[in-house]
Amino acid sequence: MIYMKSTNSGRNSVFINLPQRIPTSELSKDGHLQVYDCVDFILVNAYVPFANFSINGAVDLRKKWDVEFRQLIKGLTVMKPVVICGDLNIVHTDKDSCEPNIAQNRPCFTSWERDNFNILLNEVDLADPFRTKFPDEQAATFYGNFRHLKIGNRLDYFLISKNMIPDVEVADILNDFGSGQSVPIILEFNIGSCGTTAHS
């Protein structure tokens, strides 16, 4: 769902069903990816495969996914600005973890995963709006069984085309929401005549 905030005082704000879906048959296997044309931008909802070392082929799948996903996003940005949201299964910087050292040989922490993520950001000209607004904030979105201790990692992100950064009003993590292992993230931005709020 997308929340469209009306700028006309005589109209109500509404939740709308997502518009036309863009086929991505190869990357959409097992429900890992949905792409929608939202008129003014393209919304990419992703659950990036977890590079589980104990499952045969999982690391190779993730490496293949990273390359193909980057190629897909490159093609989409030629058409319109892009908004990516979801569980990207990466601890990008030391500010994205409660652990003292992010250079670890385990899923979400490996150097090759961070390298691939940086290539995505740089080659496709994407920005992390939360980190842009809060460059020094220690933040997590996934706590597992340690929510009560506030020990976790930031695995869930919005990434947007850099030219959308001036339009961002809110980019935040709702740490006080619920009591589950994960917490929601929120992005609010203005495009065209109406504001848009996206949640993941």
Are 160 and 127 in contact by the 8 Å Cβ rule? The answer is: yes
Q: Let me know if 3 is a catalytic residue.
A: no
- Tokens matching residue 127: 């920005």
Q: Give DSSP secondary structure letters for 118-162.
A: HHHHHHHTEE-HHHHH-TT----SB-TT-GGGT--B--EEEEEEG
Choose the catalytic residue: 87, 128, 156, 167.
87
47 is catalytic: yes
Marked catalytic residue, from 3, 37, 40, 47:
47
Nearest to 141 by CA among 184, 83, 79: 184
- 3-state DSSP assignment of residue 86: strand
Residue 188, SS3 per DSSP: strand
Where in the sequence numbering do the catalytic residues fall? 47, 87
